[in-house]
């Protein structure tokens, strides 16, 4: 399956996968299923049926598995949250991951608007879709080392935007990272 075939398949089946998942899950979970389904399709495109008329059933089979996994994940998460107080002190509240700070808030929208289109695409691939390094690099059409470097630069850019938003310098007086 070529990249063009994948794009056409995504455009044709995205809504069908969403509808299938939304009948069983919440709209947010259904979007997660759409994303994970097409990530699997992208990863396994070498195993894709040869005839295009067999692609839709193959994708819907993957979607079915993703719906089941999402349901199990929600159940496990509910179960695991009973013991959340055991892990409450393990997170670093002073230095949270910058990618986790950027959420659906006014601050998040400001950060998104501050990014270049190429940075927005990379942020979507790396932090929203959370693809592996190899899959993200393949999707972006670059080498894994270039992908890793760009993600690192994006993290630094997000840190700089956060510092700008908070009005705090990200470098100490000696020129070291604060």
pLDDT digits (tens, 9 = 90+) for 150-167: 999 999 998 888 888 776
pLDDT value for 84: 46
Q: What is the DSSP string of 34-75?
A: HHHHHHHHHHTGGGS-SSGGGHHHHHHHHHHHHHHHHHHHHH
Asked which of 16-20, 94-98, 122-126, 135-139 is least confident by mean pLDDT, the reply is: 94-98
Q: Which CATH architecture has domain 92-166?
A: Orthogonal Bundle (1.10)
Distances, alpha carbon 133 to alpha carbons 24, 25, 47, 55, in Å: 31, 29, 20, 26
CATH 1.10.1740 domain residues, the chain? 3-88
Q: Would you tell me the crossing angle of helices 133-140 and 27-43 to the nearest 10 degrees?
A: 80
pLDDT beyond 50 at 23: yes
pLDDT beyond 80 at 35: yes
More confident residue, 42 or 127: 42
**pLDDT band per the 50, 70, 90 thresholds, residue 173:** very low
Alpha carbons 77 and 83: distance in angstroms, whole number: 10
Q: Would you tell me the crossing angle of helices 133-140 and 144-166 to the nearest 10 degrees?
A: 90
Alpha carbons 178 and 167: distance in angstroms, whole number: 13
pLDDT value for 47: 83
| Region 27-55 average pLDDT | 86
pLDDT beyond 70 at 169: no
Alpha carbons 20 and 15: distance in angstroms, whole number: 8
- Whether 57 contacts 82, CB under 8 Å: no
pLDDT value for 91: 47
Please state the pTM of the whole predicted model.
0.42
More confident residue, 122 or 178: 122
Quick one: fold of 3-88?
A: Rna Polymerase Sigma Factor; Chain: A (1.10.1740)
| Region 55-64 average pLDDT | 87
Alpha carbons 161 and 171: distance in angstroms, whole number: 13
**What is the pLDDT of the chain when averaged over all its residues?**
77
| Residue 158: other Cβ atoms inside 10 A | 21
CATH 1.10.10.10 domain residues, the chain? 92-166
Asked which of 35-39, 142-146, 172-176 is least confident by mean pLDDT, the reply is: 172-176
């Amino acid at each position: 399956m070529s990249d063009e075939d994948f794009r056409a398949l995504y455009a044709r089946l995205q809504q069908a996968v969403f509808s299938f998942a939304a009948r069983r899950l919440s709209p947010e979970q259904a979007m997660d299923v759409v994303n994970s389904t097409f990530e699997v399709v992208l990863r396994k495109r070498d195993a894709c049926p040869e005839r295009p008329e067999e692609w839709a059933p193959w994708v819907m089979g993957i979607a079915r598995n993703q719906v089941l996994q999402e349901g199990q994940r929600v159940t496990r998460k509910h179960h695991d949250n009973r013991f959340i107080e055991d892990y409450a002190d393990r997170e670093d509240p002073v230095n949270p991951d910058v990618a986790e700070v950027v959420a659906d808030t006014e601050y998040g929208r400001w950060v998104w608007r501050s990014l270049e289109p190429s940075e927005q695409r990379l942020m979507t691939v790396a932090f929203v879709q959370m693809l592996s390094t190899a899959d993200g690099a393949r999707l972006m059409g670059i080498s894994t080392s270039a992908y890793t470097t760009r993600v690192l630069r994006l993290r630094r850019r997000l840190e700089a935007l956060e510092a700008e938003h908070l009005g705090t310098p990200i470098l100490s007086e000696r020129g070291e990272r604060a």
